[in-house]
Amino acid sequence: MARKANYDEKISALELKIEKKRSEIKALKEQLDELKSKKGKEDYQELMEYMKVNDLSASEVLEKIKQ
């Protein structure tokens, strides 16, 4: 005779795994947002330094980009 599967236990186990993965995804998204923010700040600092060294204003930089 075939053994009857305990679907409630299997469903519970899968739901736990799904919740764990959701938590992992949430943590990874937070890390991604933090890295993007740091990169944006670094890029901004680099641009500001370039503008300072080359004595350029924001409008001058925008004008050069548009060309």
3-state helix, strand, coil in the chain (%, to 5): 85, 0, 15
**Average pLDDT of the segment spanning 13-32:** 98
**Average pLDDT of the segment spanning 34-58:** 96
The pTM (predicted TM-score) of the whole model is 0.68
Question: Would you say residue 44 has pLDDT above 90?
Answer: yes
Q: Is 1 contained in some domain?
A: no
Average pLDDT over the chain reads 93
7, 11, 38 from 2: Cα distances, Å: 15, 20, 58
61, containing H or E segment: helix 58-66
Local structure of residue 8 (DSSP, 8 states): H
Burial class (CB in 10 A: 0-12, 13-18, 19+), 51: middle
Q: Is 37 contained in some domain?
A: yes
Q: Is 2 contained in some domain?
A: no
Q: What's the total number of domains in the chain?
A: 1
Residue 55's domain spans which residues?
A: 7-66
